[in-house]
Amino acid sequence: MPINPQAQAFLDLDARLGLPDISEQGAYMARANGHSKRDLSGPIESGVTIENPYFTGPTADLPLHVYTPDGPGPFRAMVYFHGGGWVVNYITKYDAQLISLAKKTNSVIVSVNYQKSPEHKFPIPFDDCYAALEWTVVNAQVLNIDPTKIGVGGDSAGGNLASGVALAARDRGDISLAYQLLIYPCNGPEYVLNASVPNADGYGLTQRGMLWLWEQYLNGDADRNHPYAVPHSASSYAGLAPTVIITAEFDVLREDGLAYANKLAEAGNYVVHRDYAGMIHGFFNFGKYIDEGIAVRDFFADEINRILSM
């Protein structure tokens, strides 16, 4: 189908800013230009308390946003890793989405502001995210959450981090995840290397931009074979947490997400996948302009609630 009219209008609005591609901006300029208003993702709802603790990760003290819905608990939980190509964005930018999901899933959501590339390449952002999961498990009683109902989630590069954390949790055997929520993840640079990759330009995130972001995150070719950096390089996908994954029709990462969903399903995992027709990369974050960015929260919540009720 054609691109969604609201998605096209958002792209037109963005184009009027006249900014170069992220691969030309560089990290500093891209971060400065990414300081959008807090309501970019839609209205900020009430009914959730936000706390801002720090915890000590492997190499730094890291800030968290902890979203706790009103009510007595015990709650479910999700540890969330935000998108931004491992280079840009920050946790406050996700308040609207995560407040909404906390309420819809009756979950405490722990969002971590992991350290960014290129200053902090793999494995530092991954280690920060895994440590945030460990912190959540250790503090389950304090947070009033059921330790058997803790999932991970993330969008774009955050989906990559969630995928890597889920693989590590399985491999290390110390944490049993209830689910993983993967929102148009970028799990393998090979899916944007081909000159004929679909949606390479004109839809927000570009092929050249995604290749540049991979260069910022990885240390070199050796990291391409590390499954926690490049989940598509894992030798096995058996025994992973139930998965909710989406892709967007007009996204340069669409083929990446489709392939990862297939690999998970072929390995015998429970997988729910939806490809959002007419949508662009990042639409989950653009609810102020794209209605589907808000509506998709119901899909996520319904599927998470279904998994946690099994």
Q: pLDDT tens for residues 18-57?
A: 999 999 999 999 999 988 888 999 999 999 999 999 999 9
Distances 156 to 170, 188, 281, 298, 305 between C-alpha atoms, Å = 21, 11, 8, 19, 22
Judged against a pLDDT cut of 90, whether residue 159 lies above it is answered with: yes
Strand, helix or coil at 268? coil
Distances 38 to 15, 43, 138, 181 between C-alpha atoms, Å = 20, 9, 30, 23
pLDDT given at position 1: 80
pLDDT given at position 216: 98
For residues 75 and 130, give the distance between their C-alpha atoms in angstroms, rounded to a whole number.
21
297, 42 Cβ separation under 8 angstroms: no
Domains of the chain (ranges, CATH numbers): 5-308 (3.40.50.1820)
Active site residue 226: no
Active site residue 281: yes
Q: pLDDT tens for residues 235-281?
A: 999 999 999 999 999 999 999 999 999 999 999 999 999 999 999 99
Active site residue 273: no
pLDDT given at position 36: 82
Strand-pair partners of 2: none
89 Ramachandran zone, left/alpha/beta (phi>0; psi -120 to 50)? left
Average pLDDT over residues 158-186: 98
Residue from 95, 155, 223, 251 carrying the catalytic annotation: 251
Residue from 95, 156, 232, 256 carrying the catalytic annotation: 156
271: enclosing H helix or E strand = strand 271-280
